Amino acid sequence: MKKSALVAAIGLSLVLLTGALSGCSSKEAASGDKVLYVGTQNDYPPFAFTNDKNELTGYDVEVVKEIDKKLDGYKIEFVPSGWDAIFLALDANKVQIIADEVAKNPEREKKYLFSDESYFSAQSVIIVKKGRTDIHSLKDLEGKKVAASVGDSYTQLLEQYNAKNGNKIILKYNDTGTSSDNLQDVQNGRVDAYVNDPVMAAATIKKEGLQVEAVGEPVQSDNINLVFKKDKQGEELKAKIDPIIKELKADGTLKKLSEQWTGGEFIPQ
């Protein structure tokens, strides 16, 4: 991704967030509950997206709504934004939680707190133009152009592979960062492949009628967690929310939501 385009996009997102959420960390709802702002995307079906009624919904969104029902003293509101802007908003306390299919990794854990309880298990698969038969593994991507969004787990997986194998995969960073655009690039031949979650890919492929498909075996599986700022407030929220996620697992709520939104049960034990 070109640095100038990324900086401009992030700058615009932060301006919008700052204007809309000024003072949000101390804002209270009409009920007297403290408002918590949750950052997520609005174009990542079936996890977080805007539906035909212009309502934010999806698996991650509905999980947070269930948490909201059990979180005493707080009212949750969502802040849809781009992937990169979500983390900058958390850094600036413009949002207090991220719910956006974020996987733990050592680099992120140095900077952020993660819920101990995972609420989804995400796979990583290779997606190619339908009918293509020469790509089945990361090894097959060597010498090929692969779509990538800066900072997401799937791009980090490819970057780690490159670091160990001589940078043989040609990463083509997408300025917009949207999964839909990356999938369209695969269909139109601008790139050879894209690595992402098969559930998200299937939903986007169906919605947009794309001629692409997942191939080979999953290259990685990751547990997905909520993200908090690494400070006192983050510690307090984590301590309150972890038992709720555990309860939603135990009573079958997460299983039901996973089956509803993804077509399968992807709940880690």
The pLDDT assigned to 235 comes to 98
The per-residue pLDDT for 5 is 39
- In terms of domains, do 185 and 242 share one? no
Residues 45 and 174 in one domain: no
Does 27 map to a domain? no
DSSP string computed for 171-235: EEE-SS--HHHHHHHHHTTSSSEEEE-HHHHHHHHHHHT--EEEEEEEEEEEEEEEEEESSHHHH
Is residue 18 predicted with pLDDT exceeding 50?
no
Q: Residue 29: inside a domain, yes or no? A: no
What does the pLDDT average to over 172-189?
A: 88
In a domain? residue 3:
no
- Note whether 181 and 240 are same-domain residues: no
Q: Could you give the CA distance from residue 89 to residue 100 in angstroms, rounded to a whole number?
A: 13
Q: In this structure, are 76 and 205 located in the same domain?
A: no
Q: What is the pLDDT of residues 50-61, one digit of tens each?
A: 999 999 999 999
pLDDT, mean over the chain: 89
pLDDT of 11 reads: 46
| pLDDT reported for residue 29 | 64
Q: Are residues 53 and 168 in the same domain?
A: no
Same domain, 174 and 252: no
Domain presence at residue 269: no
**Do residues 131 and 96 both lie within one domain?**
no
- C-alpha distance across the termini of the chain, in Å: 37
pLDDT on residue 15: 41
**pTM of the complete model:** 0.76
- Do 233 and 216 lie in one domain? The reply is no
Residue 267 lies in a domain: no
Query: Which residue reads 């020469």 in tokens?
Result: 134
For residue 6, is pLDDT > 50? no
Report residue 162 as tokens.
Answer: 């490159």
Q: What percentage of residues in the chain have a pLDDT greater than 70? A: 88
Q: Does one domain contain both 84 and 211?
A: no
Q: Is residue 185 part of a domain?
A: yes
Q: What beta strand segments (E) does 104-197 contain?
A: 112-114, 120-129, 145-148, 170-173, 193-196
Please give the pLDDT value at position 22: 41
Residues 63 and 179 in one domain: no
Query: Do the domain assignments include residue 4?
Result: no
The pLDDT tens digits for 217-268 are 999 999 999 999 999 999 999 999 999 999 999 999 999 999 999 999 999 9
**231 shares a domain with 110:** yes
Identify the pLDDT of residue 178: 81
Same domain, 169 and 243: no
Residue 77 has pLDDT above 60, yes or no: yes
Sorted by sequence, the CB contacts under 8 Å of residue 138 that are 6+ apart come out as 126, 158, 161, 169, 219
pLDDT (mean) for 178-183 = 89
State residue 97's pLDDT score.
Answer: 98
Give CA–CA dist 141/134, Å, rounded.
9
**Domain interval for residue 144:** 122-222
In a domain, 203, yes or no: yes
Number of domain units in the chain: 2
The pLDDT tens digits of the residues spanning 192-225 come to: 999 999 998 998 999 899 999 999 999 999 999 9
Domain harbouring 158, CATH code:
3.40.190.10
Cα gap 21→171, rounded to integer Å: 35
pLDDT of res. 27? 62
